[in-house]
Structure formats: C-alpha cells, structure tokens
Amino acid sequence: MAESYPADLLYHPEHDWARIDGDEAVFGITWYAQDSLGELVFFDLPEVGSAVSANEPYAELESVKAVSDVYSPMSGEIVEVNAALSDAPETINDDPYGQGWLVKVKLSNPGEKDSLLSAEDYKGLLSQ
C-alpha cells in the first residue's frame, strides 16, 4: 500500500498508532515503521491480560534482518491480540492500519491520549 497516515488515528513518536474508542484502544505500527523494518516475518504475540505502559515496549516485531521493539502509545491491559498475525505477520506490511492491527487494550488512563500526536504532527515529525 502507499504511504498514508489516517487522520482518525493518534500517533506515538516511536511510530505506533492508537485508534481510541471510549476506554478501549487498538494499537498498531505506522506505514513508516513497517516500511523501515521491511517484510515482517515474525510477531511474537503478547499475552492477553498482560499490562502495557505508555512509552514502554510491549512486543517485538522481526524482519529477516532485524528485531524491533513495539512501543505502547498508552497504558492499560491487553484484552485481545491479533492472532492471525502469528501465521501471517506480513499482513502488517500489507495493511498496517486495518488487518495488521496488533492488540486491543483496555485503557487505564484515557487522558494519556492528550500527549499523542495528530496525523499532521506525526507527518511533521517524519519530515524532520
């Protein structure tokens, strides 16, 4: 897919996105992140029920050449993981904002969204 940063998402400077719906949010990585990593070949699914903290790594993504930490944009508890990625991690490359989502989180502090970036601000960060 072509480079894009949907306006309805919020972004973390470590190249993650959050789609917030009340006190839950879905997390994933941005187009830029998947493009930098190259074709993804392994996503070690985090466990449902585990805690995530804003600005901390909660999972690893691996391409053929490299391992990369995935940072949590917000804090909470993982309530769902995208199990389809264990067999087809390349889905993250094909559709980073849709079928390539990583986890759904029950937020412990929804106010953290105020420190995330808009699509415009994130694009500004990338162009620096």
Partner 1 sequence: MSAASETLRTTALHARHQEAGARLVPFAGWEMPVQYEGIRQEHMAVRKAAGIFDVSHMGEIETSGPQAAEFLQHILSNDVTKIEVGGSQYSVLCKEDGGVLDDLFTYRLDQDRYLTVTNASNHDKDFAWFERHADGFDVNVEDAADRFAMLALQGPEARRILARHIDGVAPARMRTATAKVAGVEMLVCGTGYTGEDGVELLLPPDGAVQVWDALVGDGATPVGLGARDTLRLEACFHLYGNDLSEDRDPLGAGLGWACKLHTGFIGSEALSAMAEPREKLVPFAFTGPGIPRPGNPVVISGEEVGIVTSGTMSPCLEIGIGMAYLPAAATEPGTPIGIDVRGKLRSAEIRRKPLYDKEN
Give residues with Cβ within 8 angstroms of 36, minimum separation 6: 15
CB of 90 to partner 1, least distance (A): 9
Residue with token string 């993981």: 81
| Nearer CB in complex with partner 1: 9/68 | 68
CB of 3 to partner 1, least distance (A): 14
DSSP state of 9: S
| Nearer CB in complex with partner 1: 67/125 | 67
| Nearer CB in complex with partner 1: 86/109 | 86
CB of 75 to partner 1, least distance (A): 22
Alpha carbon of residue 90 to chain centroid: 14
> Rounded CA gap, 128 and 123, in Å?
9
